[in-house]
Structure 1
Amino acid sequence: MNDTTTRGDVRVAVEDPSATDVLALLQEHLDDMFATSPPESVHALDVERLRVPEITFVTARSAEGTLLGCGALKEHAGGLGELKSMRTTAAARGRGVATTVLVFLLDEARRRGMDRVSLETGTEAYFAPARRLYARHGFVGSPPFADYTDDPNSVFMTLGLQVR
């Protein structure tokens, strides 16, 4: 596994999600998800569910070590990867952090031989920037995948992968 990459002043690395600053960002993420979507439509993972073997969790940090964002790749059977827990700190938004994390996770999925990467995000206006980010990187709408079901509060997207 390529466990680090640097783009500009952003370093993405595999990290345990239980670091204090990461825990605070994950809690902020969960709080926002529950404030934005009905509980049955919240699919964000808490720290314990991010610490399982099938999930690779990464952080984005500045050269000084300040947490800028995070994301995760979950490996499913059949060559499917799933993006989870993509989050950028409020102070780092608009700086390309999410793109850097996304590119790292997509490269990791290719390295592992995954055929495609899918994701679930919300339908609300709050999630529009995320939907635009994924669309810019080639994700297209898709039906539910893995153990997801149709949900009027969810948008499902997928990207077929080619080995670079």
Structure 2
Amino acid sequence: MQVTFETPDQPDVHALIAELDAYLYSLYPPENVYALDIASLLAPNVEFAVARDAGGSAIGCAAVVVTPEYGEIKRMYVRPTARGQGLARKLISALEEKARAQGCSVFMLETGPTMQEALALYERMGYKHRGAFGDYPEDPLSVFMQKVVA
């Protein structure tokens, strides 16, 4: 499996994002899904990583939105058939490394409270629970996390 930085505007990436959206909307009401669309993912301050299997098929993706204050992890998804192989960790690590090269030392994310595997992964990677940030409201259907790197 390989992680590379690519454009999100590709048919196989659209399919991944559609799977992610279907999953999120099955868990949470639309007003509690803070997803970036393809146009937003194409912004110049967004780094988008794609994980591909040995045959070149897209099996995971994630983005980091780099702001002057922090990098926000967004659109983290690995297909269920590809989980358990450390791919999510590779995606996040690649995003953090890319954003650190741009001077980013603080990372934030918002996820849902029912996504226990994701929460456990973020905690293992050094993310700590915190309050809402940016434009997010405090909400029982959101979990906010932060990581500060040296």
- Compute the TM-score of the two structures, normalised by the length of structure 2: 0.96
1:106 is the counterpart of 2:112: no
Match 2:2 to one of 4, 11, 17 = 11
TM-score (norm 1): 0.88
**2:87 is the counterpart of 1:97:** yes
Query: Kindly, what percent of the aligned residue pairs are identical?
Result: 37
The amino acid of 1:50's aligned partner reads L
Within 5 A, what are the aligned runs for 1:1-164? 10-78=1-69, 80-124=70-114, 127-162=115-150
CA separation in 1, counterparts of 2:37 and 2:103? Answer: 27
Kindly state the Cα deviation for residue 148 of structure 1 after the two structures are TM-superposed: 1.0
Q: Distance in 1 between matches of 2:82 and 2:105?
A: 31
Cα distance in structure 2, aligned partners of 1:147 and 1:24: 28
After superposing on structure 2, the runs of 4+ consecutive aligned residues of structure 1 that deviate more than 4 Å are none
Q: Secondary structure at the match of 2:110?
A: strand
The size of the alignment, in residue pairs, is 150
Alpha-carbon distance in 2 for matches of 1:81, 1:42? 19
1:115, distance to aligned residue in structure 2 (A): 2.2
Stretches of structure 2 lacking an aligned partner (at least 5 in a row): none
Residue type matched to 2:20 in 1? H
Aligned-pair CA distance for 1:63: 2.9
